[in-house]
Amino acid sequence: MSKSMKKILSILSLVLVLSIAIGSLVVAYAGGIRGIGLLGVWFFLTFGIIVVLAQVIPAGILLTSLIGSAFTPYRRAEVPIHVI
Q: Which of 71, 75, 17 is nearest to 43 (CA)?
A: 17
Mean pLDDT, to the nearest integer, of 1-24?
90
Mean pLDDT, to the nearest integer, of 63-81?
69
pTM for the whole thing?
0.62
Mean pLDDT, to the nearest integer, of 52-78?
79
How does pLDDT run across 19-55, given as a tens digit for each residue? 988 888 888 888 888 888 888 888 888 888 888 888 9
d(CA 84, CA 81): 10
Q: Where are the domains of the chain?
A: 3-71
Residue 30: what pLDDT?
A: 87
77: DSSP letter? T
